């Protein structure tokens, strides 16, 4: 089973998505990318926490062509004034109990800055450091633990600082060149380059039992401290917010598998955080997974597609609509597979091929919206209507 560990405390986080698949032999650790430490004495400065990646995580550098290098240099110069480092501290009764750092980028000319929820969570003091070293205090305008996004605000942007444009993350393609700029290990203004390794990933939110769909996977080197910084395309558009890395668990450092929250989620959430300080996500109230071969055989399904319903939350929209979860387990291909649950194959006539498709479609709607779900129950195909509710706090 995959495990999630915070970068500093290494305490086990909650598992937020039921994975209906075989357990892989090598455990996967997903690490939020803020640099955070407990200050046990005033003699331990945050700047002393510099860690090198293990040799096994370092890949041979490839020499860039002259034209490519010039293009990356130009892109860095254009984008860097819109990117910041964020230092946070938690002060209780006059004592600093914790401190850390992350990254962010300028969202608009009103001083709003995008970062991760986990960067500023619990912080009482927030300081923004601009690319040229100027510092200013900031306030948290709003946070959304479900999408791991937050907005902080400075009173005024210094001269020469500008907002970065948002790209369309739905148009991002595998193989596309990208760069990440941020504050890894407290080393501000650091750039790395890579490609989009995959799109459509689903990642844990980290702070809630819910998941973030349509995340972008990249091999650009991102490390603790890159949290909240932008993943940019070669046009200088933000296509994602760097948030997590997957490691073997030996060390929280880049191993070539990083994840960014899609820019279209930023476009959806940020304006509401600025206006209302919180975002209300819709909730259906099921857990499950994609139909795999074992589930297909155990349930007598004709095709290997759809979102399998394993559990239905009590008093949820799904429960009120009459959706059914698994009733028992049955052996299939030497694996125990759940049986008896509904399979959702469409939502408002849009095909649902995987559970991720269902997550995305639900997340694209609002509380109070009605959705028509086409389900397969046994050998019957039917439609049910559910009215989405706001996600519960827990």
Q: Which of 148, 204, 219, 357 is catalytic?
A: 148
Report residue 216: phi and psi, to 5°.
-105, 130
Q: Report the predicted TM-score, pTM, of the whole model to 2 decimal places.
A: 0.82
Reported as a single tens digit per residue, the pLDDT across 151-176 is 999 999 999 999 999 999 999 999 99
Q: Which of 192, 227, 290, 326 is catalytic?
A: 227
Reported as a single tens digit per residue, the pLDDT across 180-191 is 999 999 999 999
In order of their start, the domains of the chain are: 1-43+81-277 (2.40.10.120), 282-390 (2.30.42.10)
| Cβ count near 256 (within 10 Å) | 18
Give the integer Cα–Cα distance in Å for 284 and 347. 12
Examine the residue annotation and report whether 108 is marked as an active-site residue of this protein: no
Examine the residue annotation and report whether 118 is marked as an active-site residue of this protein: yes
Q: Which of 85, 103, 118, 190 is catalytic?
A: 118
Counting Cβ atoms within 10 Å, is residue 279 exposed (0-12), middle (13-18) or buried (19+)?
Answer: buried
Answer positive or negative: Cα dihedral of 4, 24, 202, 103.
positive
Reported as a single tens digit per residue, the pLDDT across 104-144 is 999 999 999 999 999 999 999 999 999 999 999 999 999 99
In the structure, what pLDDT confidence band is assigned to residue 254 with cuts at 50, 70 and 90?
confident
Examine the residue annotation and report whether 109 is marked as an active-site residue of this protein: no
């Amino acid at each position: 089973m995959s495990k999630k560990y915070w970068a500093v405390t290494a305490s086990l986080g909650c598992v937020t998505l039921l994975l209906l698949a075989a357990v892989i032999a090598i455990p996967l650790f997903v690490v939020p990318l803020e640099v955070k430490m407990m200050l046990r004495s005033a003699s331990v400065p945050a700047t002393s926490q510099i860690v090198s990646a293990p040799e096994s995580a370092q890949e041979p550098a490839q020499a860039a062509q002259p034209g490519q290098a010039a293009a990356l240099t130009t892109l860095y110069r254009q984008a860097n004034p819109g990117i910041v480092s964020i230092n946070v501290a938690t002060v209780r009764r006059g004592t600093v109990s914790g401190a850390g750092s992350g990254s962010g980028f300028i969202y608009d000319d009103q001083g709003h800055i995008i970062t991760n929820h986990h960067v500023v969570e619990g912080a009482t003091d927030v300081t923004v450091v601009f690319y040229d070293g100027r510092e200013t205090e900031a306030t948290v305008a709003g946070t959304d633990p479900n999408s791991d996004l937050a907005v902080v605000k400075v009173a005024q942007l210094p001269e020469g600082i500008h907002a970065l444009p948002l790209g369309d993350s739905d148009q991002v393609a595998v193989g596309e060149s990208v760069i990440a700029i941020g504050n890894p290990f407290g080393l501000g203004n650091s750039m790395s380059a890579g490609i989009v390794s995959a799109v459509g990933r689903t990642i844990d939110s980290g702070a809630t039992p819910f998941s973030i769909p349509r995340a972008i996977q990249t091999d650009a080197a991102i490390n603790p401290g890159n949290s909240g910084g932008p993943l940019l395309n070669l046009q200088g558009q933000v296509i994602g917010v760097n948030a997590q890395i997957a490691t073997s668990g030996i060390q929280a450092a880049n191993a070539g598998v990083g994840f960014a929250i899609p820019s279209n989620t930023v476009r959806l959430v940020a304006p509401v955080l600025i206006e209302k300080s919180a975002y209300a996500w819709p909730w259906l109230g099921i857990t499950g997974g994609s139909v795999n071969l074992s589930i297909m055989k155990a349930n007598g399904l004709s095709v290997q597609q759809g979102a399998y319903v394993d559990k239905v939350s009590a008093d949820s929209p799904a429960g009120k609509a009459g959706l059914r979860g698994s009733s028992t387990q049955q052996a299939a291909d030497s694996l125990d597979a759940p049986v008896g649950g509904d399979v959702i194959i469409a939502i408002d006539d849009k095909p649902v091929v995987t559970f991720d498709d269902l997550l995305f479609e639900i997340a694209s709607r609002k509380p109070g919206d009605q959705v028509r779900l086409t389900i397969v129950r046994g050998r019957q195909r039917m439609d049910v209507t559910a009215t989405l509710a706001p996600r519960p706090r827990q």
